[in-house]
Amino acid sequence: MDGYRRYYFPNTEALAADEVRIIALGTGRPYMRPAQANSGWLVELGNGDKFMFDFGYGTQMRFSALEIPYQDITAYFATHLHSDHVGDFGQIWVASWVGGRTKPLVVYGPSGTQPNYGMKHFVEKQRESFAWDTATRVGFLPAIGEEVEVHEFNYAETAIIYDSNGVRISTFPAIHITDGPVDQMVATTGHDKKGGGAVNTYIHTDPLDAGRIFAMVHPRLAVSFHFYNDFDTASEIEKQIRKSYDGALALAHDLMVINVTKARIQTRMASTGSHVYPNTVYQDAYRQAPRKPKPAISEWLLAKRLFQK
């Protein structure tokens, strides 16, 4: 495989400066199943940045399997606010805080046609719903980890929403049921943007139309996901795509890994364990980070303890 192992083993392959590694955290539909979590993708860059695009239910279990420190995630991006794309917010916020994050959570997401349809409203209400949870943790965990930095952008505009460290992330409106959803595109120094987007026809793009779009865009690799990828469905999906498109194609599975360089694109699967945790390389800084006062407990409850201390 010309330098790449047949399987990707987490934390065993350093990226070259101009290399990108993309990992499918979830490729399925709105209801989860063991083989496929909801939608989510991890993009790792050779400059050290790591971005997560969508974080639907189940995606953070896949992320944990990769043994990447939560602290290493630069920012999270939502394409729209369907639960199968943002359902694991509690995990990316609270679990990452418990799991070692010592900086504010940074999230980007679209606005809507009214304020309660936008990312700021979503995050505000999610935080309110976890009020008791976070109040009981704040004295034991780094105080800064509770903070959330929300960047809501105009869903109706084509614009650059992130520009830092040689990375630009753009957004443009998508057709998906109603106003609000967007597609996002990453461009890094040394990589062009060609083929970075996706197009929906109304709810989701059917395979025949996906093939037509791929043929128009001419990507180095076309990737199809958000369908049930089974032995009795994949062949039909590919058959429909191939009516219009004869280029490189991957039908994504969870934990599929794509390495991208100027010279080549390599696809394979990650080999992960089931009894693993996110990497704790930053544990010392986590222990030393400032805390807030611990929450109090009522005297009458303390008096009921079996073993008084």
- C-alpha span between 224 and 262 (Å, rounded): 22
Give a yes or no: residue 225 inside a domain: no
Give a yes or no: residue 234 inside a domain: no
Give a yes or no: residue 233 inside a domain: no
Segment holding 53, helix H or strand E: strand 50-55
Between strands 105-110 and 148-153, the pairing is parallel
What does R_g of the chain's alpha carbons equal in angstroms? 21
Give a yes or no: residue 188 inside a domain: yes
Residue 176 has pLDDT above 90, yes or no: no
Question: In the predicted model, what is the mean pLDDT of the chain?
Answer: 90
| pLDDT of res. 32 | 87
Would you say the pTM of this structure is higher than 0.85? yes
Residue 278 has pLDDT above 80, yes or no: no
Number of structural domains (the chain) is 1
| pLDDT of res. 179 | 81
Burial of 64 (0-12, 13-18, 19+ CB in 10 A): buried
Residue 240 has pLDDT above 90, yes or no: yes
Which residue range(s) make up the domain with 290?
7-203+252-302
Higher local confidence (pLDDT), 188 or 54: 54
Give a yes or no: residue 297 inside a domain: yes
Residue 153 has pLDDT above 60, yes or no: yes
Exposure letters 83-113 (e unless 16+ CB within 10 A, then b): ebbbbbbebbbbbbbbbbbbeebbbbbbbbe
| pLDDT of res. 1 | 53
| pLDDT of res. 54 | 95
Phi, psi of 101 (to 5 degrees): -75, 130
pLDDT, tens digit, 9 for 90 and up, residues 78-130: 999 999 999 999 999 999 999 999 999 999 999 999 999 999 999 999 999 99
Residue 202 has pLDDT above 60, yes or no: no
Q: Which two tokens stand for residue 253?
A: 């599975």
| pLDDT of res. 199 | 36
Q: Which of 56-70, 131-145, 195-209 has the lowest mean pLDDT?
A: 195-209
Give a yes or no: residue 87 inside a domain: yes
Residue 197 has pLDDT above 50, yes or no: no
The pLDDT-based confidence of 4 (bands split at 50, 70, 90) is: very high
DSSP calls for 254-275: TTEEEEE-SS-EEEEEE---SS
Residue 35 has pLDDT above 80, yes or no: yes
Give a yes or no: residue 181 inside a domain: yes
Minimal CA–CA distance to 296: which of 98, 133, 135? 135
> Percentage of the chain with pLDDT > 70?
94
Give a yes or no: residue 80 inside a domain: yes
Residue type, 233: T
Q: What CATH number is attached to the domain comprising 288?
A: 3.60.15
Q: What is the 3-state secondary structure (H, E, C) of 154-220?
A: CCCCCEEEEEECCEEEEEEECCECECCCEEEEEEECCCCCCCCCCCCCCCCCCHHHHHHHHHHHCCC
> Percentage of the chain with pLDDT > 90?
77
